[in-house]
Structure 1
Amino acid sequence: MPGDRLTDEDRRHIATGLAEGLGYTEIGRRLGRPGSTIMREVTRNGGPDDYRAQRAQEATQQRARRHRQAKPPAPPIGDSSHGRDPQAVQNVTESFATLLEQQGMPRMAARVLACLHVTDSGNLTAADLVQRLHVSPASISQTVALLEQQGLLKRERTPGGRRERYVVDDELWVRSTLAALQMNETLAATSQRAAEVLGAATPAGARFCSSAEFLLLVNASLGQVMEQWQQNQDERNARHRS
């Protein structure tokens, strides 16, 4: 049936069909299989001029054995400090990464940022991230460059050392919000200019006017939030000093 694995008998029919000069679609029709399945089978096992049923069957069996013998990937590293349950920590990490991804962040960037967030130090080296996420150093390098560009992490070099550490801190979302404020200001100004060019009374101009008004209201609210946040931080710091 379509979707099932090819059998030894199927492969003999394929070899016979090829010898008769039949195309993949016709061979598939006779076997009740998609033509694409036949094409992959033949291409994987020597091509139409060198396909042999027995050799293809043996190669498939060998691939299946290698797949069964392959070691499963190492489990992700959970933080067991402070009496934490490593699996629970890993679940939190994955949930946070999924949330960031759903908000539009690239998957690898979300995983790196989540991994950094759940560490008490807030910093890890490239080697740490490679070990924790089971990805290549090149993937980490590209992802860190993206996150740094967006102001979502910083690079620091250990005093007297050569290795860089990637750092997140308590100001992460403050910097992200400031970046959003700046972008909104730019968008609002551009929308206002577009409305002037198009004419505020026209449908297109009115659309830009509405966009600018909304963005300015958002920025006003965010500005108040930032002021309240700074006030809270000042009060907290004052209590710590007293």
Structure 2
Amino acid sequence: MPGGRLTHDERLGIAAGLAEGHGFAEIARGLGRPTSTVTREVARNGGARGYAADRAHRATARRARRQQPTFADTGPGAGEEARRAFVEEFATLLVTAGIPRMVARVLSCLYTTDTGALTAADLVERLRVSPASVSKAVGYLADLDLLRRERSGRRERYVVDDDVWLRAWATNARVHLAWAEAAGRGVAVFGARTPAGARLAEMAEFFGRLGDDMSGGPADAAVADVLTVTAALVQVGAPVSRAALAAGLGWAADRVGAALQDAVRRPDLTGPVTVRRIRGSRYAAIARLSDEQRHALTAVVRST
């Protein structure tokens, strides 16, 4: 059933799909499951590169048997000092990952409550800080989609959901893909053979691959479109517009645009050539050769 827990056989299917380079959506269709189910399963169990079906199945069983947390929401009790110490220790770990300290303390405090929800007054009392500090930290976390606000009577509560880290993962994937796209546009502006263009090209490739890895990678159909568009550019042998490619291939303009975007962002998919945006909306396939190799080959061809 789509709403039931994943079976061991389904987890084996996910592992097999990842090994074959399939995207999350494609794996989910094969299992008859929502894409979000597969995305959450992989993110919780090592990511696309570290997922193992047996280990994931055992981890799920352990989570199902886990007892309720002991950090009570109501007032201090036995072990309160130890719990406060852990909140600060957890916050320090978050700070080492680049999160501002007050933001880390608020997130740690929310995450270690049974309900995962506290009011501003609760946070002020527990952390012994000013309301302004809490308000600023909550705004920071809300912008990152790491918490949500909900009304509880006349008060507002701040809630950390169980899938908070999955949402953070997905947000980072989108950010990395946006960086890759922006760097690809920069290559067209500065020129692929300039030092700035070369650095931007490396940035586009790195963040494009990282973003795709985090989101499950492009589906087989998308990779096939990249290869077809790349072959078409090689065949033409000159810069060509998106509209001309669409007309020549008999594809919709959106399909050509998506394939070109993937080709620019993921040069690891385009083999011995690199797809570059040259002028305006024109694209070209450029062989991956150094200037010295180009000159030498040109001289050899002219001499024969």
| TM, length-normalised to structure 2 | 0.45
Contact 1:191 1:209 in 2 (8 A): yes
Q: Match of 1:85?
A: 79
Q: Deviations over 1:192-237 (max 9, x none)?
A: 0111111112211111000000111111211129xxxxxxxxxxxx
| Counterpart AA for 1:114 | S
Higher strand residue share: 2
SS in 1 for 2:158: strand
Gaps of 5+ in 1: 1-77, 226-242
Q: Match of 2:21?
A: none
Contact 2:72 2:114 in 1 (8 A): no
Q: Match of 2:252?
A: none
Alpha-carbon distance in 1 for matches of 2:119, 2:72: 19
Tell me by how many angstroms 1:84 deviates.
Answer: 7.0
Provide the aligned C-alpha RMSD in A.
2.2
Using the aligned pairs only, state the percent identity.
48
Higher RCO, Cα 8 Å, sep 6+: 2
SS in 2 for 1:224: coil
Number of equivalences: 146
Q: Deviations over 1:85-137 (max 9, x none)?
A: 33332232111100111111111111000000100100001111010011111
Runs of 4+ in 1 over 3 A off after TM superposition: 78-81
Distance 1:80 1:186, change over 3 A: closer
SS in 2 for 1:206: helix
Alpha-carbon distance in 2 for matches of 1:93, 1:224: 33
Alpha-carbon distance in 2 for matches of 1:80, 1:177: 28
Query: What does 1:7-26 correspond to in 2, within 5 Å?
Result: none
Q: Match of 1:215?
A: 207
| TM, length-normalised to structure 1 | 0.56
Alpha-carbon distance in 1 for matches of 2:72, 2:147: 24
Query: What does 1:164-175 correspond to in 2, within 5 Å?
Result: 164-175=156-167
Q: Deviations over 1:154-197 (max 9, x none)?
A: 11112xx1101100011111111111111111111110011111
2:186 is aligned with 1:194: yes
| Counterpart AA for 1:118 | T
Distance 1:86 1:194, change over 3 A: same
Query: What does 1:74-113 correspond to in 2, within 5 Å?
Result: 79=71, 85-113=79-107
